Amino acid sequence: MQDLPRRLAEIVTLARESGRVTVDELSQRFAVSPQTIRRDLNELCDRGVLNRMHGGAVIASGIENLAYDARRLLAREAKARIGAAAAALIPNDSSLFINIGTTTEEVARALARHHGLLVITNNLHVAAELYRHQAIEVILAGGVVRRSDGGIIGATAVEMIHHFRVDTAVIGTSAIEHDGSLLDFDLREVRVSRAIIENARRVVLVADSGKFGRAAPVRIAHIREVDTLVTDRLPDPALAELCRAEGVEVVETGGGEEL
């Protein structure tokens, strides 16, 4: 970022530290008008450094995901609404997979009042959220624990997933391209997600609107393999039409994020 003016470079640094910057916070920090900050953010977005979000921007990434703590901060309210809406689709006395992701963790939080659930997960945070509930049985997939976010990945996890056939898979993704491709950053994680999709009778994808049009290098699946997409907002008309054509139910919770 040596070619950036000082304020823009500082904005990028702040975005990398927290994952997101807002117009109001930056305006106060730099003592400039919100209009000036919006122009700064637009320039950084045009350069491909940031991605637009409602009221601010997030750091862009094409080959490496944001740090876990930064991802937790992104679209927190939207993810909570998505989690509640997805949990409402899960019947009591059923079995489900939940994979790695900060949005799938919100689904787990919203399942607290369910009963008779069997949850198989490769997400340590999901297991920690649910194991205390006597009416929910949790099975944790074996394998290598990724220190960056508590995800369990690798061949052992894939093999274990293949032992089950569940009612519902709740999955997240790092990016959704305009053609319906679901993408992620870690091939080992993707292999677990593929096993989860293949061994579920129904697949529920949870993704906030910031995932649409984002880039990531590894393909998980196509939107046609999903039964229900739960999002705050589906901003891509072509993708919305693709979902209709492929028979994918779309649940929008509202409160979409764009600059």
* Over residues 79-99, mean pLDDT: 97
> What does the pLDDT look like over 204-247, one tens digit per residue?
999 998 888 777 899 999 999 999 999 999 988 999 999 999 99
Map out the domains of the chain with their CATH numbers: 6-60 (1.10.10.10), 75-252 (3.40.50.1360)
What's residue 202's pLDDT? Answer: 98
Alpha carbons 175 and 211: distance in angstroms, whole number:
5
HSE toward the beta carbon, residue 256, CA cutoff 13 A: 15
Alpha carbons 94 and 173: distance in angstroms, whole number:
23
The pair of three-digit structure tokens given for residue 137, joined into one six-digit string: 């049985």
What's residue 213's pLDDT? Answer: 75
Taking alpha carbons only, the member of 152, 192, 201 closest to residue 173 is 192
pTM of the entire structure? 0.78
254 has a pLDDT exceeding 80: yes
Taking alpha carbons only, the member of 201, 190, 189, 192 closest to residue 95 is 201
- 257 pLDDT band, cuts 50/70/90, is very low
Task: Report the residue count for the chain.
Answer: 259
91 has a pLDDT exceeding 60: yes
Q: Which stretches of 62-164 are assigned E, i.e. beta strand?
A: 95-98, 117-121, 136-140, 144-146, 151-153
